[in-house]
Structure 1
Amino acid sequence: MVEATPFEPVAALGGGVLIGLSALLLMWSVGRIAGISGIVFGAVSNGGEERNWRLFFIGGLFIGSLIAAWLSGALSGVTPVASTPMMIAAGLIVGFGTRMGSGCTSGHGVCGISRFSLRSVVATVTFMASGFITVFVIRHLLGEGL
């Protein structure tokens, strides 16, 4: 059985504040919404200065995550609970869903809802419901990752 992750409100609050500040800084400096799927798509399909800020933003996500994990020791003893084929399939489905939904939880859930976008509220509720149903089916009906 998978061990439950303890709730750490201070870490969650700190992470939320950093996400909000990064979204605010991106909007202030570049005039763009911090939707990660759109940023990644633009980094692959655009060139020049438009590509540069996107690559720096993506690099900052990776480097910041690695630094935070290293400082906190959060990755010690971590092993995936799902099989590699299941994780690859999940990644492809998420990528397809973000294109179909015209964005992801960062663009719609963080930036869209904070701008009072009804479209983003509907998209985020759909993302979350789909995630809940998927976890239930994968974990409880198929028994994967237990």
Structure 2
Amino acid sequence: MTEFTPWMSLLGGALIGLAAVLLMALHGRIAGMTGILTGIIPPLASDWGWRAAFLAGAVVAPAIIAATTGLEIPFSSPTPAPWLIVGGLIVGAGVYFGSGCTSGHGVCGIARLSPRSIVATLTFMAATAITVFIIRHVAGGL
């Protein structure tokens, strides 16, 4: 069962939007996680410092919230690890061929009214809906 958390989701979305706006305003860069990550994998980009800080903030912020509020952030998956690895590789291929990820296209691209990003995001969402339908209703809810 999926738990819907509207207030936490709204706050999280607002923080993602704020981070994207600040990164664009202060550095003139798009907050696409794949592009940011690419710059800290050797060979390092010349601007690797802000990239590392951005990614560290994305990892450390939930830990700080959990530590200061007592909020438990469960991290588990009923999906077997090999399936997660295969899924990650498929997503990686999609990111490569789609020239970006959901954060770059969905958050930043749509905000800039980029037709390419709108089409890419619609494609991501359609593929997600089809995959969830197949997994839950055709394959028996693996």
Q: What is the TM-score of this pair, normalised by structure 1?
A: 0.87
Specify the SS of the correspondent of 1:43: coil
Specify the SS of the correspondent of 1:14: helix
| 1:55-88 per-position Cα deviation (integer Å, ceiling 9, x unaligned) | 111111111122334432132xx53121101111
| 1:5-40 per-position Cα deviation (integer Å, ceiling 9, x unaligned) | 1x2222111111100110011111211000011111
Q: Give the count of matched residue pairs.
A: 140
Separation of aligned partners in 1, 2:50 and 2:122: 30
Specify the SS of the correspondent of 1:135: helix
Residue 130 of structure 1: how far off its partner (Å): 0.8
Give the unaligned 5+ runs of structure 2: none
Separation of aligned partners in 2, 1:132 and 1:56: 33
Residue identity opposite 2:78 in structure 1: V
Aligned to 1:4: 2
Residue 112 (structure 1) aligned with residue 125 (structure 2): no
Amino-acid identity (%): 48
Aligned to 2:51: 54
Q: What is the TM-score of this pair, normalised by structure 2?
A: 0.89
Separation of aligned partners in 2, 1:64 and 1:119: 31
Residue 139 of structure 1: how far off its partner (Å): 2.8
Separation of aligned partners in 2, 1:69 and 1:132: 31
* One of 89, 94, 105 as aligned partner of 2:91: 94
Specify the SS of the correspondent of 1:109: helix
Separation of aligned partners in 1, 2:26 and 2:106: 21
Give the unaligned 5+ runs of structure 1: none
Matches within 5 A, 1:60-139: 60-70=57-67, 71=69, 72-75=71-74, 78-139=75-136
Aligned to 1:38: 35
- Select the structure with the greater relative contact order (CA < 8 A; seq sep ≥ 6): 1
The runs of at least 4 aligned residues of structure 1 exceeding 4 Å deviation read none
Residue identity opposite 1:4 in structure 2: T
Separation of aligned partners in 1, 2:136 and 2:64: 31
